[in-house]
Amino acid sequence: MTFRTRFAPSPTGPLHLGHAYSAIIAHDMARAAGGEFLLRMEDTDLQRAKPEWDAAIVEDLTWLGLTWDGPILRQSEHLTQYDAYLDRFEAMGLLYPCSCSRADIRAAVSAPQEGVSHDVYPGTCKQRSMASRKAGDALRLHMDRALAQLQGRTVAFQETGETYKGQHAIDADKALQDIGDVVLSRKGEEIIAYFLASALDDVHQGITHVVRGEDLFDFTPLQVMLLRLLEQPVPVYHHHRLIRDDAGKRLAKRDDARAISKYRSEGATPQDIRRMVGLT
């Protein structure tokens, strides 16, 4: 099996040291294995993703000396391909329409309810059928039914990153309690949930190893569940450490101070960047 990995930035801001670290690690792992390194723009958030950030990311990666195999995959260019998967979830009886606003959800979960964490949907629209779907409704996953359909099947993934190294099986109780009925599609705003689009494109692109930051580790059980429901192969995951600022906080898009373009304009070399993220 050829080792194939990818770097999958969302073009919603500048490439900073944390992204550079992620891209370099994935690139170097692929090259060391004689495998392939692909570039994918995760631009399904049509409001926040901008072509100018896309172009800037390509420029910074090129400047860093990274090369990728094949053309860049832009998710916005094949949005309709995801519909087939949503249709499959619907045919499996796993979707329901939801008209709750974020404020509705917040109000419902702020009432004391044992065992309901703030991120988990309280189930207000759960009894609705797909036939009652109105324009503008989001589509949610019946997590309980999904888990029931997965019963008896292996739902697990192999992790090779240092912090979480090993085999991880998905725990049904935890999935109900911590993940719950997530939104898989939202008309207009977010056509398909980014974690689903990302997992599906890993399959489409034949990714054998997902190399990415530890901040995404918690999404992995959900992504693996969705892939198994669709009977798709599950890649190996490698979650790497995060690059943090001086206060120990992980770098975010708004950390323009650590943008690669800023270091470039100050005369840094690609080797300097590698040194700054502890890679030499």
**54 counts as binding ligand GLU under rule CB under 6 A:** no
Q: Which residue of 21, 23, 27, 42 would you call a contact of ligand GLU, by CB under 6 A?
A: 42
Residue type, 24: I
140 versus 240: smaller Cβ distance to ligand GLU: 240
63 versus 194: smaller Cβ distance to ligand GLU: 194
Q: Could you tell me the smallest distance in angstroms from the CB atom of residue 208 to ligand GLU?
A: 14
> 125, 140 in Cβ contact below 8 A?
yes
CA distances from 191 to 159, 168, 199, 232 (A): 29, 30, 15, 21
Tell me if residue 247 falls in helix, strand or coil.
Answer: coil
Q: Could you tell me the smallest distance in angstroms from the CB atom of residue 213 to ligand GLU?
A: 7
Q: Could you tell me the smallest distance in angstroms from the CB atom of residue 36 to ligand GLU?
A: 16
Q: Could you tell me the smallest distance in angstroms from the CB atom of residue 152 to ligand GLU?
A: 28
**226 counts as binding ligand GLU under rule CB under 6 A:** no
| Per-residue exposure over 93-125, b if at least 16 CB sit within 10 Å of its own CB, e if not | ebbbbbebeeeebeeebeeeeeebeeebbbbeb
Whole-angstrom Cα distance, residue 79 to residue 232? 19
Q: Could you tell me the smallest distance in angstroms from the CB atom of residue 8 to ligand GLU?
A: 4
For residue 35, give the nearest of 3, 70, 1 by alpha carbon: 3
Tell me if residue 84 falls in helix, strand or coil.
Answer: helix
Q: Which residue of 5, 75, 185, 198 would you call a contact of ligand GLU, by CB under 6 A?
A: 198
Q: Could you tell me the smallest distance in angstroms from the CB atom of residue 211 to ligand GLU?
A: 8
**216 counts as binding ligand GLU under rule CB under 6 A:** yes
CA distances from 133 to 48, 94, 98, 139 (A): 27, 14, 8, 9
25 versus 147: smaller Cβ distance to ligand GLU: 25
Instruction: Choose the binding region for ligand GLU from 3-11, 134-142, 154-162, 261-269 (rule: CB under 6 A).
Output: 3-11
Q: Could you tell me the smallest distance in angstroms from the CB atom of residue 187 to ligand GLU?
A: 21
49 versus 273: smaller Cβ distance to ligand GLU: 49
Interface of this chain with ligand GLU, residues 4 to 33, rule: CB under 6 A: 8-10
Give how many residues touch ligand GLU by CB under 6 A. Answer: 7
How many other CB atoms are found less than 10 A from the CB of residue 201? 20
**212 counts as binding ligand GLU under rule CB under 6 A:** yes
172 versus 195: smaller Cβ distance to ligand GLU: 195
> 215, 244 in Cβ contact below 8 A?
no
How many other CB atoms are found less than 10 A from the CB of residue 272? 13
Which positions touch ligand GLU (CB under 6 A)?
8-10, 42, 198, 212, 216
